[in-house]
Amino acid sequence: MERELEALTRAGLRRRRRTVAARSAARYTVDGRPTINFASNDYLGLADHPAITDAAIRGARRWGVGSGASHLVSGHFAVHEELERRLAAFVGCAASLLFSTGYMVNSGVIPALVGRGDAIFADRLIHASLVDGALLSRADLRRYPHGDLAALEKALAASRAPRKLIVTDSVFSMDGDIAPLPELLRLAERFDAWLMVDDAHGFGVLGPQGRGACAQAGLSSERIVYIGTLGKAAGVSGAFVAGSARLIEWLLQKTRSYIFTTGSAPLLAEALLAALDLIEEGDARRDNLARHIGALRAAKVDRAELLPSTTAIQPLILGDNARASACAEQLLEAGLWVPAIRPPTVPEGSSRLRISLSAGHTQEQVAQLIGALQTLKV
């Protein structure tokens, strides 16, 4: 272990945690120093919103803290039921199932849908939780080049698997680009496949009233297995899967990561109901976020490539691991928290700064970031 840890250090790939001691909106105290946080997935600035905090406190007073058991034993509370109904309606589906984390929903739903002898067709850049779910299923996993619809079509046409599942992120978490969802659904219909869309970085941000990437694309189909994350734009914690009533009943019976774990704390469900209200009424927040994105994209940074993203995720490609880490440290010294993302999270040679913008940022904070990026010693 020690030898391999030393090798990670030499390669510039050893990770470290930073400790947050305090926060107020986008201002964080990190490892003892004040910073502006451009590292978070809190895209609407809701994570410390007083209405959500108050709802969590009310929930704790009403329900206590822990659920005490799995949802299928005695840990499914009335507020969980209400939240599942609200989430399903919000994303235009018949039903939904609540999970404690996005990793649990992705690693559990895929093995519940496909198994040995079946086939999974996954974009090369899907999230690690989807990869792990695919591996756990023991289905044949076929990765197609990122966004390459022709390669996907060819693989689907050659498959004789009895059950097929296409898997994609909606917004890719390290590149910030959006999957071609209408074209993916057409291929799913043509080749009789499920389409699983992980909308972790689209839910709450994209589409009318933040209803997500499928709503933005105008898609509705019983073939879609919709995954929404509740710890990013929603500002709380957890995740859900939504779809047809038959799909959700099947997943309730078959998803091991749902069946064999303690239910999520009911106070979080209370907080999420308040968060949904804020998301639905949050057009001003989404407009503010769009202005921040436009301002950053209009800026020029020498010797670095800003990937063509229209979302809150704005990756600045630097290439070398040490270079990315050094730039992140320069920004931290300037009071700006922007993480360096390195392999294996991203492909070799594409280390980057992953800039996450939020409606919680002010114009002045974004201008400060742009100024610092333009004077980086890269």
Q: For the whole model, what pTM was predicted?
A: 0.95
Q: Is 300 a catalytic residue?
A: no
Question: How far does CA 355 lie from the centroid of its chain?
Answer: 14
Which amino acid is residue 172, in one-letter code? F
41 closest CA partner among 200, 175, 191: 200
Helix/strand/coil (H/E/C) assignment for every residue in 188-209:
HHHCCCEEEEECCCCCCCCCHH
pLDDT at 305: 79
Kind and range of the H or E run holding 336: strand 336-337
Q: Where are the beta strands (DSSP E) in 10-108?
A: 20-24, 27-30, 33-37, 95-99
Annotated catalytic residue within 201, 351, 358, 361 = 201
Q: Over the range 337-371, which residues count as b (16 or more CB within 10 Å of their CB) and which as e?
A: bbbbbbeebbeeebbbbbbbbbbbbeeebbebbbe
Q: Please report where in the chains the tokens 């999230």 appear, as a residue.
A: 127
Whole-angstrom Cα distance, residue 90 to residue 93? Answer: 8
Pick the CATH number of 50-280 from 3.10.450.50, 3.40.640.10, 3.30.413.10, 3.40.50.300: 3.40.640.10
User: Fold for domain 16-44+282-374?
Assistant: Aspartate Aminotransferase, domain 1 (3.90.1150)
pLDDT at 89: 98
Q: Is 173 a catalytic residue?
A: yes
Q: Is 80 a catalytic residue?
A: no
Residues 6 or more apart whose Cβ sits within 8 Å of residue 164: 114, 118, 119, 120, 121, 156, 191, 192, 193, 194
Question: How far does CA 272 lie from the centroid of its chain?
Answer: 16
pLDDT at 302: 73
Whole-angstrom Cα distance, residue 85 to residue 46? Answer: 22
pLDDT at 303: 64
Annotated catalytic residue within 232, 257, 292, 356 = 232
88 closest CA partner among 99, 80, 79, 97: 97
Question: How far does CA 49 lie from the centroid of its chain?
Answer: 20
pLDDT at 240: 98
Whole-angstrom Cα distance, residue 314 to residue 174? Answer: 8
Q: Please report where in the chains the tokens 């090369």 appear, as a residue.
A: 124
Q: Where are the domains of the chain?
A: 16-44+282-374, 50-280
Helix axis angle for 50-63 and 266-280, nearest 10°, is: 150
Which amino acid is residue 308, in one-letter code? P
Whole-angstrom Cα distance, residue 145 to residue 124? Answer: 5
Whole-angstrom Cα distance, residue 6 to residue 90? Answer: 48
pLDDT at 224: 98
pLDDT at 227: 98
- The distance in angstroms from the start CA to the end CA of the chain is 33
87 closest CA partner among 266, 251, 253, 280: 280
**Concatenated DSSP letters of 218-246:** T---TTEEEEEESSSTTSS--EEEEE-HH
Whole-angstrom Cα distance, residue 327 to residue 339? Answer: 9
Q: What is the mean pLDDT of each run of 10 residues along the chain (378 residues)?
A: 95 91 92 95 97 98 97 98 98 98 98 98 97 98 98 98 98 97 98 98 98 98 98 98 98 98 97 98 98 93 83 94 93 96 92 96 97 87
Q: Please report where in the chains the tokens 């047809």 appear, as a residue.
A: 244
pLDDT at 377: 81
Kind and range of the H or E run holding 333: helix 321-333
Which amino acid is residue 45, in one-letter code? G
Annotated catalytic residue within 173, 264, 350, 358 = 173
Strands across the sheet containing 313-319: 305-306, 313-319, 351-356, 340-341
